[in-house]
Structure 1
């Protein structure tokens, strides 16, 4: 009898493993779509008879939809149940990917890319909720979330290489076709329903629509400026400011606001959100611009990005040790400094032809910049949020990161539509370097390291070692 009772326990411990694999594969699929598409940009331009602005919109419309719907996707998962939202998101992502692959024109591709962003916004927050339900034990849950998060690094490293290989075998459409079988595998691995708690919270569409309209209009303003239409750029910019103000007003009175009340006056958390947007701005600038400037094959472009993407995959483990030893601010400062230098080197390498060593060194430093800053700033934000608002931090942080990515692709596409002089080629990277310099400045002057509701002993220690207070 003891053996009979032990076996079910072991089986129960192993049972979530296929489902965790499926949930992680769904996250991989979402992230792969972004990085693999970068090396497909020249192929898309040739096939659909479009220009840099067109492929820029193919990137920005996805990140706009994702940024606008991420928080709403989390609320929807809490209200309707994470499993149902996850399944719909995966199925829809696979179907919309096939729609992208079959797109006969740029307009159809843009519509399908917008749907991809919406379905991705359903997958990401529901994935975390399902992991929490599968692993109620905090220790095992932490390991499961670490495995889920590690997939992002693998997707970042594999995306450009896999995308380049797929394009060499067929063309850019293969980048989207591969998502359909992956979606079917995810649905097969997660075919057993996962029970999760439901919260009958209110839902409000208006703030999310306002955010989407603001991002779309701001992108139009940047695009018009890049094309020299300064009057229209100014008009769109004013409309974007008005929409942003209106969205903020509506959000404050919404029954389901984008920003939790407990976070509205929290300056350290909003600083971390700004850091996240800055990092994604710089990262997207590199991933979007390099394939367009190299004038080489998709395979070669993917291989060129490897020094950066591989470090993003493996270096967060070292970042965790630095955070544990010195607190989050040190790796954040190190990361912004590395990114600043790396972007300047990348700009120099693209401005002067045939500088592969300088380019590789710049991409290497950029990879260090991403892998040092992102894990640390997540911990910084969570540590400075009140307990009741920590669930909102992840959603807003991901949304602000996508906002940074949206603006970066719009700015880079607007600049690169101009004649490719040496100055024009370097300009997107120099602007991103300036953004990182601002991030470094704010991280250097940042002195707030207070954790909400700390113990008295922790307060005393924080007075002497503010960076280390979070470790306890």
Structure 2
């Protein structure tokens, strides 16, 4: 059954520019929120009288909620209609952003950050469904999706710079206030209903709740270990393992599983999911840790990250050409070579201060690592998945990437809150380098197969 309101773009034969701009701006808003917060961390610590662990939770609670609800958001869009889910997500995101902006304490901020993650999980999958409704022609739809996804790179590049400027003009609360007028603009642009198909599809709560519990207890275990509270860390670690096992068992018998049956036991696809988690782990380590270690203004911190963020925005177009010519494994391996080297250089620049050229070189290599690897691994996963499971691939890939981001912020926060020397401060980058080196090791065991047709490559490198 389709939503009854007609699509005026189809009726009048005009290009639905305002609606597409609204959908794209919503995606930009969601992704901007994940990067703009990085340079606000010192300001939040001073304003709310918290520490590195506190701002770490401000990051991880968002990614936990997003990871837990992404697949559920896609199922809800299919069942209830993408337009309604999208508009509810945008309105909720704007209201929750104001809640973050006016939060008087860290606890209140964490509540609204969790709500932001849930509303973001409603926006992202429904956006794709709405674009499909706006562009029934496959060629135009492909171009529209590429343009929509490319905004993730723009959000990555703009976030730290815009955040630094907003904090200088006002304070950290401004990085959340800006979402409210953007949400109003999106609602105005998309005020005319967009046709989308509804499916009679079961929705199961238990697997999603189990995933949320697993991530929360795992994050608590890492946090407690970082504070050397070993008994609570062990308890939370055991709970996380139990929740993970229970979630897997429930998911196998669920009428609406997180993992499609066609993907179970598909080793190449799950390898790609692991690569996605590894890259997001390393990327989040850099974005979360550097602003806390630079001891400079928010504007300067944002400018420092530009060598990485600009490459993330611009280089995926070249990655698409490499994939088309040589297949996805070559840029994946290139990325997993560049990323560990870049992270080691960032670690050196952190341990031996006043090394701006070393830091810039490291961030450039990190940018190459992200922009070579993430677009290509999407194509690799889709190439190895059954046709009926390609939609699930996108949802699970984004969820596993958020798992990587959650673990990175938790571990980096635990290390940095205890560091007493520059050498210890460099440890999160070295751990991330080891994670990427493991990704390279697994990539070298995969067979290279030059595609007869170009692989499906997403231009998005930060898609949530």
Flag whether TM exceeds 0.5 (same fold).
Answer: yes
2:406 alignment counterpart:
406
CA RMSD, Structure 1 to Structure 2 (Å): 1.2
The answer as to 2:206 corresponding to 1:206 is yes
State whether residues 327 and 469 of structure 1, in contact with CA within 8 Å, keep that contact through their aligned partners in structure 2. no
State whether residues 9 and 15 of structure 2, in contact with CA within 8 Å, keep that contact through their aligned partners in structure 1. no
Higher Cα radius of gyration: 1
The answer as to 2:97 corresponding to 1:114 is no
Q: TM-score, normalised by structure 1?
A: 0.94
Matches of 1:264 and 1:14, distance apart in 2: 43
State whether residues 343 and 433 of structure 2, in contact with CA within 8 Å, keep that contact through their aligned partners in structure 1. yes
2:135 alignment counterpart:
135
1:248 alignment counterpart:
248
2:4 alignment counterpart:
none
2:429 alignment counterpart:
429
Matches of 1:418 and 1:331, distance apart in 2: 37
State whether residues 345 and 362 of structure 1, in contact with CA within 8 Å, keep that contact through their aligned partners in structure 2. yes
Compute the displacement of 1:470 (Å).
Answer: 5.5
| 1:10–1:407 distance in 2 versus 1, CA, 3 Å | closer
1:144 alignment counterpart:
144
SS of alignment partner, residue 256 of structure 1: coil
User: Runs of 4+ in structure 1 displaced over 6 angstroms?
Assistant: 8-11
Matches of 1:181 and 1:39, distance apart in 2: 21
| 1:139–1:356 distance in 2 versus 1, CA, 3 Å | same
Superposed, 1:171-250 pairs within 5 Å as: 171-250=171-250
1:265 alignment counterpart:
265
2:60 alignment counterpart:
60
Matches of 1:171 and 1:308, distance apart in 2: 25
1:460 alignment counterpart:
none
Q: Deviations over 1:189-216 (max 9, x none)?
A: 0000001001110000100000000000
Matches of 2:75 and 2:153, distance apart in 1: 26
Higher helix share: 1
Superposed, 1:290-309 pairs within 5 Å as: 290-309=290-309
Q: Deviations over 1:45-98 (max 9, x none)?
A: 000000000000000000000000000000000000000000000000000000
Matches of 1:184 and 1:14, distance apart in 2: 24
Aligned pair count reads 448
State whether residues 311 and 368 of structure 1, in contact with CA within 8 Å, keep that contact through their aligned partners in structure 2. yes
The answer as to 2:451 corresponding to 1:468 is yes
State whether residues 332 and 376 of structure 1, in contact with CA within 8 Å, keep that contact through their aligned partners in structure 2. yes
Matches of 2:391 and 2:114, distance apart in 1: 26
Identify unmatched segments of 5+ residues in structure 2. 1-7, 456-464
1:105 alignment counterpart:
105
State whether residues 217 and 239 of structure 2, in contact with CA within 8 Å, keep that contact through their aligned partners in structure 1. yes
Compute the displacement of 1:10 (Å).
Answer: 10
1:339 alignment counterpart:
339
Matches of 2:163 and 2:453, distance apart in 1: 40
State whether residues 101 and 174 of structure 2, in contact with CA within 8 Å, keep that contact through their aligned partners in structure 1. yes
Compute the displacement of 1:418 (Å).
Answer: 0.9
Identify unmatched segments of 5+ residues in structure 1. 1-7, 450-465
SS of alignment partner, residue 195 of structure 1: coil
Matches of 1:388 and 1:205, distance apart in 2: 23
The answer as to 2:428 corresponding to 1:445 is no
Compute the displacement of 1:424 (Å).
Answer: 1.1
Q: Deviations over 1:238-259 (max 9, x none)?
A: 0100000000000000000000
Matches of 1:206 and 1:255, distance apart in 2: 11
Matches of 2:370 and 2:280, distance apart in 1: 8
1:281 alignment counterpart:
281
| 1:246–1:330 distance in 2 versus 1, CA, 3 Å | same
Matches of 1:250 and 1:405, distance apart in 2: 25
1:416 alignment counterpart:
416
State whether residues 100 and 113 of structure 2, in contact with CA within 8 Å, keep that contact through their aligned partners in structure 1. yes
Matches of 1:9 and 1:228, distance apart in 2: 60
State whether residues 23 and 186 of structure 1, in contact with CA within 8 Å, keep that contact through their aligned partners in structure 2. yes
Matches of 2:13 and 2:383, distance apart in 1: 31
| 1:389–1:298 distance in 2 versus 1, CA, 3 Å | same
1:162 alignment counterpart:
162
Matches of 2:182 and 2:9, distance apart in 1: 31
Matches of 1:201 and 1:121, distance apart in 2: 18
SS of alignment partner, residue 57 of structure 2: helix
State whether residues 325 and 450 of structure 2, in contact with CA within 8 Å, keep that contact through their aligned partners in structure 1. no
